[in-house]
Structure 1
């Protein structure tokens, strides 16, 4: 394990060249922390550790955390992240008395240092993050460790079965698992996880920021033409989108093909790359970071800010779902629907399989075979005001009907604290 340490340092250094956040607090990755350990007294409130690896998991953790703070007044949060975007988003959740550090590298030494330094009362892993040494360390230290909002796609399930000698003991050592769907529960149970319930998807409980949503709607009204958002686009998808859009534009000069495109790449380090792609095709680009009171006229608007997705969905009459036009599993379509923004999604939605199927059945998400069909469908939808308004109104009812996972999950976490029989806590 020690031999790999220099390699990890070099990897972090390379990542930091495009994302400076990776250069922050590097010793934490190896279980070394500045400052004293949290004070533990018999009457201290519980220290709840939540691990959210990246941006999406951190946003789901925020929904759960809101309910936990209601149920556990005075609780302290220990938040760990694995990516720079996750850590940046997670910093918004930290209050006085809370702690945010990097997830320790999954070596016995780093895990031991992490657990003995912080000694959390309960650990909550978000969605998919299972690390063998981390799970084993919690069991050895008698720290209940649960997997919340748990999901397992078919690829991960087959991988866990193939490597069952490693995966099964890790899943079996968890204290509890709460799955998003029945299919997730079946797969997780099959690899040894102690599934205690199917509680739904936390992301349905997300409430978009009203101020951002209102500003987006105001900007949309001033656009002068329908707005289509390509949300959380991934590498390779923008080039396919660009080729499809230019081909459609050149084939039809009809007014009902006119739209304002808004691109929001999934990863901030790719903003300049996407701009270069568009300008090389002869398109003008206006960046969100350069706007004052209103968007500046351009062929393409580029959303190059963090934490403003509600604003971008508010600007859009419809959205293409990033990550679904390449075999990447798709991004979170629930966020768009909660902003009353209908979705056009490609064939690859395995990360949100049930939500995507439910949304398609409800008519608030339209499934297409490829990017060309996706661009055509999106343009057709936003140029049909009556149909677009109907889908937008159905989005609100759809998301409202699937809420409730946050409170159920928070109550289950509190029960884990009680079951741990630590007499100095009163849940």
Structure 2
């Protein structure tokens, strides 16, 4: 089985490499740390981990990175002699790690899942425990870690309606992988049952809740003054702000058309578009230009930039890690990848800020979260662009309704917090055998 996997992986790796190299080049800054993807680390990192207990956390992208930050903040006071190393896959997430994590936290790229690269990476870092966020399963990495006797934890774990059948279909492969985990923090009972079916040991599974409810309220140093920025753009302090976050291809055009229609009724309306992938900003800008919308790129904003009031209609954000700050000043929030694309993006963050939140019908990656919000009547799901326009218009014209929806959203988030503490307890118990931590006697 392992030999077959490695043969197939090598074929896939060779065939897909041009596509991924193209994506990395578009995002920029791909050369820095590139060797780490093959398990090669510089002297500085090696020196920082020498003779240290290490816990390795892996976050695929920006959303999982926030979960890692939350876990590190909770674990550090209890594991004072441990050094934390966080890995990620994308250059965007690495940029955020560099900005948001303190210098003493190691930041690396996750190795490509070939035996040689994985063995080199694990042999260098030699972690005392590994924490994977959500279902990021790479066979060679897990096989190697298990052979080294390293405790493995899977946190904020979920198996979607789409991925669960795939894992079941190849259960013969995944059973031994999922069975390797010392602890599995499932988001809910449904996920716990599914994880058990694909091979996780029942005694290792803990239903802890969704860590993203906790990660959404992360506090930290404020790096962006949005009111000052809006002032530079000529946006009045009392203007209505429509923020469309994490949008995907096709959604910027839809939002732009909705904006133009609503601006006839609300002349002070201002649009902030934040594409999920900043390299798509040029394409989104072309869509705005076709509709004669006056917009400005966030990256081009300089200290001396100044527009007259009403001169601009839209800010197109082509930078990373700033969406939360724009959410804070939104009148209404639309969460992308839910209207013209499938899967959805995280609605918890704007909800935690007490904002009225809308999203489209395609929220497959957040099915359980959506059920919670809809049951609490603390968010609005629309079926299409026409309904989205109607609902946004209703909220823009009704401040009490906006306030009520935002309050309900914030209360929903508060009610579902606490997963971090439960996850930390699971990890600490698993780490006790490695002499990192002594579990108090009950």
2:248 touches 2:341 (CA, 8 Å); kept in 1? no
Is the counterpart of residue 24 in structure 1 residue 38 in structure 2? no
Is the counterpart of residue 422 in structure 1 residue 431 in structure 2? no
Aligned-partner SS, 1:193 = coil
Alignment of 1:168-317 (within 5 A): 168-194=175-201, 195-206=204-215, 207=217, 209=219, 212=222, 215-216=225-226, 219=230, 222-246=236-260, 248-249=261-262, 253=264, 255-256=265-266, 259-289=269-299, 290=301, 292=303, 296=307, 297-317=311-331
Q: In the aligned structure 2, how far is the partner of 1:273 from the partner of 1:345?
A: 22
Q: In the aligned structure 2, how far is the partner of 1:239 from the partner of 1:362?
A: 31
Alignment of 1:383-402 (within 5 A): 383-402=397-416
1:123 touches 1:145 (CA, 8 Å); kept in 2? yes
1:212 touches 1:310 (CA, 8 Å); kept in 2? no
Query: Deviations 1:264-322 (Å, cap 9, x if unpaired)?
Result: 11111111221121012111002333164998541112223322222211221111111
Going from structure 1 to structure 2, the CA distance change for 1:295 and 1:82 (only over 3 Å counts) comes to: farther
Q: In the aligned structure 1, how far is the partner of 2:188 from the partner of 2:14?
A: 41
Aligned-partner SS, 2:24 = helix
Q: In the aligned structure 2, how far is the partner of 1:257 from the partner of 1:308?
A: 26
Going from structure 1 to structure 2, the CA distance change for 1:133 and 1:295 (only over 3 Å counts) comes to: farther
Q: In the aligned structure 1, how far is the partner of 2:61 from the partner of 2:245?
A: 17
Alignment of 1:23-422 (within 5 A): 23-35=31-43, 36=46, 39-41=49-51, 44=52, 46-194=53-201, 195-206=204-215, 207=217, 209=219, 212=222, 215-216=225-226, 219=230, 222-246=236-260, 248-249=261-262, 253=264, 255-256=265-266, 259-289=269-299, 290=301, 292=303, 296=307, 297-418=311-432, 421-422=433-434
2:112 touches 2:118 (CA, 8 Å); kept in 1? yes
Aligned-partner SS, 1:225 = coil
Aligned-partner SS, 2:149 = coil
- Stretch deviating more after TM superposition (85-94 or 355-364): 85-94
Query: Deviations 1:60-106 (Å, cap 9, x if unpaired)?
Result: 11111110112212421111111111111122354444322111111
Aligned-partner SS, 1:154 = coil
Going from structure 1 to structure 2, the CA distance change for 1:141 and 1:316 (only over 3 Å counts) comes to: same
Q: Offset of 1:141 from its aligned partner? A: 0.6
> TM-score, length-normalised on structure 1?
0.89
Aligned to 2:3: none
Going from structure 1 to structure 2, the CA distance change for 1:423 and 1:238 (only over 3 Å counts) comes to: closer
Aligned-partner SS, 2:121 = helix
Q: Offset of 1:16 from its aligned partner? A: 3.1
Q: In the aligned structure 2, how far is the partner of 1:101 from the partner of 1:95?
A: 14
Aligned-partner SS, 2:417 = coil
Q: In the aligned structure 1, how far is the partner of 2:36 from the partner of 2:13?
A: 13
Going from structure 1 to structure 2, the CA distance change for 1:222 and 1:309 (only over 3 Å counts) comes to: same
Aligned-partner SS, 1:320 = strand
Q: Offset of 1:259 from its aligned partner? A: 2.5
- Unaligned 5+ residue runs, structure 2? 1-6
Q: In the aligned structure 1, how far is the partner of 2:368 from the partner of 2:74?
A: 24
Q: In the aligned structure 1, how far is the partner of 2:389 from the partner of 2:150?
A: 49
2:224 touches 2:322 (CA, 8 Å); kept in 1? no
- The structure, 1 or 2, with the larger RCO (C-alpha pairs under 8 Å, 6+ apart) is 1
2:171 touches 2:199 (CA, 8 Å); kept in 1? no
Q: In the aligned structure 2, how far is the partner of 1:362 from the partner of 1:257?
A: 32
Q: In the aligned structure 1, how far is the partner of 2:390 from the partner of 2:105?
A: 48
- Stretch deviating more after TM superposition (78-87 or 168-177): 168-177
Aligned residue pairs, count: 418
- Stretch deviating more after TM superposition (335-344 or 185-194): 185-194
Q: In the aligned structure 2, how far is the partner of 1:148 from the partner of 1:293?
A: 46
Query: For the aligned residues, what is the CA RMSD?
Result: 2.7
